[in-house]
């Protein structure tokens, strides 16, 4: 069980939650990143009571885990870079492209600057996507070997990048040897899956068929017949999955896991999500992971509102993705109205521990951002909200160059456009496994990397900005009333670091805004330094340390964003 007692900006933080008294925000065995090199010499305080400086410079100093200092990048290896000319992405190709993500040199600014990678499944699987595993200890041959993976991991760690891997525990492939043995009623494996001698007849949460016939019996497979669910009430199955996790943490050295379909693990009668048994199983799994690697990240996919997804954190999972907040950002931009994102943020603040949720704009299962918001102008606003907001941000590969994509799923996972040269788009010298998405001629790395006005350059600056401001990485969130539905605003604050974010979500200028923060962290006077946007006048501080009737500019242009450092003096 992890103790999460956090008082940001105070003098003492009780119960540091990263498994010890480390003063740098980094997983075990990893070199310091550009934001933590200087912190490596900080004096280590006792684990139970850590003195916090006026402005903690790392998540650890603020009593938070290392992942609160990170920006993660989701990679589909099959689509990232082909190194051997077969049209399929692979681990060696990913190694070749690591400098694009982070070259390991804090003095350079032409890399993306990410400090974490989430790899979609890399285990052996018969499907292109990998979510139906046939061998949890073997790398998918299309991607390379375990030796290739170890090389990739070393190269990532050398650059200060943490790596988590997709771990699919809810189900396997129907082609997994375990399923064959279970079907044959082998005594060792007979109840490793969920069997019925008759068709139970009930459907899944979305009305889908979940009981599938094979021979004269039926087995339960929530997602489709090719992915039978494991019987996680079987102690032998649990022990094997614990051993698999131990292998990747201890023998290979990954920094954690993204847990697929976490809300579906154990059924209770016809209830197929959010059961007490599922939470208990995950709590046990988290304890097992901590016993092997105390600082490993266990991130769960719990595709539900915050009131449900937040209940998993921190006892059953370290983080869950906030799907409603992602939807709220995009809905607000589509409507030109702040209500969806305001409501989603309120729910996140209510139902998660401080900063312990993962944020994103889209992922491998959802329509890509550019296909939702259409314009690069609105995509930039979405990126600014993601990377100035609370939580641990995840960028889906290609979002930074404006990749498009709508379902079916393969259309969401197409090759990364490194150049505008068809058909390989810099991804391969051969015919790619899937054609590049429309727009690659201009929405690619080569054509946008040197353009300071490009979406890619915006992402680079935003990651660098977040990296340089503790308030943006793990500061508290103070909602700001704006007086108009066109404008969304909040303050991020920790210690002496205070950042105001003001966003016009509309295609029309905002002139009726008036910013109000009844209670805030400010002294009697503050100065204002623009980080994004024009010079502005500072607010007049009210008796509660906030401000009232503040208009930093007379007019906020369409989709205008202001990020302002507010500091004493």
Q: What residues act catalytically? A: 260, 301
Q: Report how far Cα 39 is from the mean position of its chain's Cα atoms.
A: 25
Instruction: Give the Cα separation of 201 and 212 in Å (integer).
Output: 10
Instruction: Give the Cα separation of 352 and 390 in Å (integer).
Output: 11
Instruction: Give the Cα separation of 357 and 248 in Å (integer).
Output: 23
Angle subtended at Cα 399 by Cα 395 and Cα 405, rounded to the nearest 5 degrees: 120
Of 249, 252, 264, which is closest to residue 295 (Cα–Cα)?
Answer: 249
The secondary structure of 267-293, three-state, reads CECCECCCCHHHHHHHHHHHHHHHHHC
Of 340, 356, 256, 354, which is closest to residue 298 (Cα–Cα)?
Answer: 256
Are 526 and 566 in contact, with CB atoms under 8 Å apart? yes
Residue 9 falls in which region: left (phi positive, over 0), alpha (psi -120 to 50) or beta: left
Instruction: Give the Cα separation of 361 and 325 in Å (integer).
Output: 9
Instruction: Give the Cα separation of 88 and 24 in Å (integer).
Output: 38
Bridge partners of residue 162, in order along the sequence:
116
Instruction: Give the Cα separation of 25 and 31 in Å (integer).
Output: 10
Bridge partners of residue 566, in order along the sequence:
528
Tell me if residue 426 falls in helix, strand or coil.
coil
Between helices 455-468 and 376-388, what is the axis angle to 10°? 10
Instruction: Give the Cα separation of 228 and 175 in Å (integer).
Output: 10
C-alpha distance from residue 403 to each of 76, 263, 329, 460 (Å): 14, 30, 18, 16
């Amino acid at each position: 069980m992890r103790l999460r007692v956090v008082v940001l900006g105070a003098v003492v933080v009780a119960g540091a939650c990263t498994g010890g008294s480390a003063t740098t925000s980094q997983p075990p065995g990893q070199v310091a990143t550009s934001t933590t090199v200087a912190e490596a010499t900080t004096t280590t305080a006792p684990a139970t009571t850590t003195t916090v400086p006026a402005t903690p410079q790392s998540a650890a100093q603020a009593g938070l885990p290392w992942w609160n200092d990170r920006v993660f990048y989701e990679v589909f290896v099959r689509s990232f870079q082909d190194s051997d000319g077969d049209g399929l992405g692979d681990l060696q190709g990913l190694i070749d492209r690591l400098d694009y993500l982070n070259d390991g040199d804090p003095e350079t600014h032409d890399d993306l600057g990410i400090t974490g990678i989430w790899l979609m499944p890399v285990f052996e699987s018969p499907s292109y996507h990998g979510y139906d595993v046939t061998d949890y200890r073997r790398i998918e041959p299309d991607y390379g070997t375990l030796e290739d993976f170890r090389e990739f991991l070393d190269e990532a760690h050398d650059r200060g990048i943490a790596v988590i891997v997709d771990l699919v525990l809810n189900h396997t492939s129907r082609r997994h040897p375990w399923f064959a043995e279970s079907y044959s009623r082998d005594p060792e494996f007979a109840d490793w899956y969920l069997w019925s001698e008759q068709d139970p007849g009930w459907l899944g949460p979305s009305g889908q068929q979940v009981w599938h016939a094979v021979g004269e019996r039926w087995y339960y497979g929530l997602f489709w017949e090719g992915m039978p669910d494991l019987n996680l009430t079987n102690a032998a199955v649990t022990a094997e999955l614990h051993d698999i996790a131990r292998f990747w943490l201890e023998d290979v050295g990954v920094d954690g896991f993204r847990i697929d379909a976490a809300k579906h693990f154990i059924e209770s009668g016809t209830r197929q999500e959010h059961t007490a048994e599922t939470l208990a199983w995950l709590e046990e799994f988290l304890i097992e992971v901590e016993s092997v690697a105390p600082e490993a990240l266990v991130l769960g996919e719990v595709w539900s509102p915050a009131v449900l997804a937040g209940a998993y954190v921190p006892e059953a999972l370290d983080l869950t993705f906030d799907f409603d907040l992602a939807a709220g950002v995009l809905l607000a931009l589509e409507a030109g109205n702040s209500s969806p994102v305001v409501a989603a943020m309120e729910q996140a603040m209510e139902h998660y521990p401080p900063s312990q949720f993962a944020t994103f704009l889209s992922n491998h299962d959802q329509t890509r951002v550019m296909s939702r918001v259409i314009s690069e102008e609105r995509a930039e606003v979405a990126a600014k909200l993601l990377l100035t907001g609370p939580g641990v941000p995840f960028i889906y590969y290609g979002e930074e160059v404006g990749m498009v994509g709508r379902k079916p799923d393969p259309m969401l996972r197409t090759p990364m456009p490194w150049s505008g040269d068809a058909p390989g788009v810099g991804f391969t010298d051969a015919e790619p496994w899937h054609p590049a998405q429309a727009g690659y001629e201009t929405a690619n790395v080569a054509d946008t990397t040197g353009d300071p006005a490009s979406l890619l350059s915006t992402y680079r600056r935003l990651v660098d900005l977040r990296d340089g401001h503790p308030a943006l990485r793990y500061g508290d969130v103070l909602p700001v009333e704006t007086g108009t539905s066109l404008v969304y605003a909040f303050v991020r604050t920790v210690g002496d670091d205070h950042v105001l974010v003001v966003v016009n979500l509309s295609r029309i200028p905002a002139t009726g805004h008036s910013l109000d923060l009844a209670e805030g962290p400010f002294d009697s006077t503050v100065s204002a330094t623009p980080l994004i946007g024009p010079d502005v006048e500072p607010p007049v501080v009210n008796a509660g340390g906030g401000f009232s009737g503040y208009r930093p500019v007379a007019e906020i242009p369409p989709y205008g964003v202001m990020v302002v450092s507010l500091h004493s003096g």
